[in-house]
Homo-oligomer: A and B are copies of this chain.
Amino acid sequence: MLAYKNDKFIPLELCTLSVYDLGVLMGAGVTDLVRTFNGIPWMLGEHIDRLLRSCKYACIPPGKTKPEVKDIVDGLIKENYTDKDLAIVFYVTAGENKVYAGSAGISGDREPTFIVHTFPLQTKLLWKRYFTEGIHLITPHIRHIPPNMFDSRIKHRNRLHMWMAEQQLQVPGAVALYLDEHGYVTETGGANVAAYMYNTIVFSLTNRLSGIGLGTLLEAAKKKKIDFSHIYLSLYDLLNADEVWLTTTPYCLAPVCWINGQDIGNGQPGPVWRKLLDTISDMVGKDVYREMTE
C-alpha cells in the first residue's frame, strides 16, 4: 500500500512520525477521513473543505490547495483500491520541532507534516453487530472539550479524555456518548447522534463536529419528507425518541437500541432507520446494509 507524506508517495510502512513532530509533542494536528463507495470517494470536496477549515482555525497552514489534495487522493486510490472500499485519512501537523524538543520549545522554521494514507474498511468486523443488533450508548462522566478551549467543529486528535472514557465504560462493545460541560448531548468519538420523533429528526446544536455523514442523512430525510432541526439535545430527547441513530461517513447510519441500559423504542433497530439507510444506499450507489452485514 502506498501512502503520501510531505510531497512524496511512499510505502505505508515508511509513513511514520518523528517523536519531535509537533503532532506527537503537542497534539498540534488536524485530521479528516473520507471513504470510497465502489472506489469513488464520497463528498471528497466537502471533506477537503472541512480539513482546510480545521487547518485555518487550528493555526496549522497545510501548505496544499484543494486541487492538490484531490490529486493526492486520486493517486492513492488508483494505487490502493482493489475490491474493498477504502478509508482515506488526512493528518496534518505543525511539523517537526527542530530545536529543544520537549513539549514547549522554540520550533524554528517548520514545514507542516502532511500525511494521507488509506486502509480497506473492515465493515463486517467493525459494524455488523451495530446493524443487526443495534448500538448501546453509554454517557461517561468525562465531559467533552468546551468551547473555552476550542471549537469541536474541527476534527483533531486531542482525545485523551475519550480514550479514558472508553476504557471505563464497563459495558463490552458499548459506544461512549459525550455530554458537554452543562450536561447536554454532543457526539460520540466517531459519529453524530440524531433522534427521530414525531416525524422529525433532531440533533445537537452545539459542541460537535459538522458531520458530513449528518449532511448525507439530512439529504436523505428531505427525499422522504422528514423534517429536522437542531436543538439543545438532552438525554430526555434520546430516551423518549422513537428511534436514535449514529451518523458518520464510514458506516453512514446505524441504529442505537439502548442508552445507559434503557431501551430506545422497543430496543430494536427501527423501520425509519432502515428506510433512510436504503435511501442513502441509493445516493451512494452501494447497498450499505449489505456491505456492513455480509
Q: A interface vs B, CB < 8 Å?
A: 3, 15-19, 22-29, 31, 33, 53, 56-60, 87, 89, 91, 94, 99-106, 115, 117, 119, 122, 125-126, 138-151, 153-154, 156-164, 167-168, 170-171, 179, 181-184, 188-190, 205-206, 232, 234-236, 239-240, 250, 260-262
Contacts and interface: CB of A to CB of B under 8 A. Distances in A.
A57 B235 contact: yes
A103 B149 contact: no
A56 B18 contact: no
A88 to B, nearest CB: 10
Given A104-B162, A139-B141, A163-B59, A149 B26 contact: no
Nearest to A210: B236
Nearest to A30: B160
Contact of A104 (B3, B104, B189): B189
Contacts of A232: 147, 205-206
Given A103-B190, A126-B105, A147-B184, A160 B234 contact: no
A56 B262 contact: yes
B236 A151 contact: yes
B19 A57 contact: no
Nearest to A153: B236
B240 A53 contact: yes
Given A19-B89, A99-B126, 13 more contacts: A16-B18, A27-B27, A56-B239, A58-B163, A100-B122, A100-B126, A103-B159, A106-B125, A141-B260, A143-B146, A147-B184, A156-B160, A206-B232
Contacts of A160: 26-29, 58, 150, 156, 158
Question: Which of A31, A182, A262 has most chain B Cβ within 10 Å?
Answer: A182
